[in-house]
Structure 1
Amino acid sequence: MQTNLKEAETIAIAPTSAQLLKIGQVATQSDFSVKTIRYYEEQGLLIPVVMRSPTGYRLFKPAIFNRLGFIKRAQSLGLSLNEIGEILIIRDRGELPCGMVRKRLLLKQKTIHEQIEALEILRSELQYILSGWQEKPDRDSFDRTICPNIET
């Protein structure tokens, strides 16, 4: 019996049960907790690399490590799991999501810049308040205020 080339490629690429990893093995080798891996699966982030055994155990393809590495790095850059999920959907369609990743990172950079500006304004305001701080403010304002140093 002869198989066509496409079937032969599928057979050669499909992982054998020896290549599949249980969740504990993935956790040990990746430094992610079992709980986190389960959560990522529930969120749909691991769809193409996880399957179930006939008895219901999670079995992972070796590509799980690339996927977990991407998730970890994307989170460290400030992307949310929802954003990461959207990026992974594009990748799972067979496309490189670099354009979307760039857009997300540019937006994240803009947000951080705005937060830094707001924090610098807050720091200036705190410096101003602390520079005129009175340890024992006027007793006459006692009934009208809680802390006259910060109430203007």
Structure 2
Amino acid sequence: MIVQEEPRLIGSVAKESGIPIKTIRYYEELGLLKTAGRTEGGYRLFNADVFARLNFIKRAQNLGMSLSEIREFLNIHDQGDLPCDHVQETLRDKLIDIDRQIQQLQILKQELKRLLAEEDVLSENSTAIICPIIEQG
């Protein structure tokens, strides 16, 4: 005989998961979480599977995925399929973006080093100039 757990109040889910109630409500609004109903007092109830979904959401966010992307993955999962192909494609795109950002940051780093290396700029004294280090670039 399979014993089904009683749905949990949103406060209990928040306490056990460490995720604020406000965030859980927001995730529900976005369609990332589904309630198991509400109490007579209007409090949201969640099944135990909410913890797996919250863990997935947190991990995916830590990997740089947007809530929109995460919702897509969860929708695929809810249809009975594994979203792994979509996740891999998204991760590949994230790597490309990270490489692009690293390249842009390297260029910025070189520019900052160049500006700091030019000592004679500070000797200029003009009332029209706020800071020659930045304005000369």
Structure 1: segments with no counterpart, 5+ residues = 1-11
- C-alpha separation in 2, matches of 1:135 and 1:41: 56
Q: Which of the residues 108, 117, 131 maps onto 1:147?
A: 131
Give the ranges of 4+ consecutive aligned residues of structure 1 lying more than 6 Å apart after TM superposition.
none
| Paired letter, 1:149 | I
Q: Which residue of 1 aligns with 2:99?
A: 113
Matched, 1:57 2:36: no
For 2:128 and 2:44, locate their aligned partners in 1 and report how far apart those are by CA, in whole Å. Answer: 64
* 1:53 CA drift (Å): 2.8
1:59 is paired with a residue whose SS is: strand
Cα displacement string for residues 101-139 of structure 1 (whole angstroms, at most 9, x for unaligned residues) = 011111111101110110011001110110113474233
Is 1:134–1:149's contact at 8 Å kept on the other side of the alignment? no
Q: 1:87 aligns with which of 64, 69, 73?
A: 73
Q: Distance in 2 between matches of 1:80 and 1:103?
A: 14
Q: Offset at 1:145?
A: 3.4
Matches within 5 A, 1:1-152: 15=4, 19-47=6-34, 50-53=35-38, 55=40, 56-134=42-120, 136-139=122-125, 142-150=126-134, 151-152=136-137
Would you say how many aligned residue pairs link Structure 1 and Structure 2?
A: 135
Identity %: 45
Following the alignment from structure 1 to structure 2, what is the Cα–Cα distance between the partners of residues 99 and 113? 21
Structure 2 gaps of 5+ residues are none
- How many angstroms does 1:148 deviate by? 2.6
Q: For residue 103 of structure 2, what is the amino acid of its counterpart?
A: E
Q: 8 Å contact 2:38–2:45 — kept in the other structure? A: yes
Q: Which moved more, 1:129-138 or 1:98-107?
A: 129-138
> Contact 2:17 / 2:51 at 8 angstroms: preserved in 1?
yes
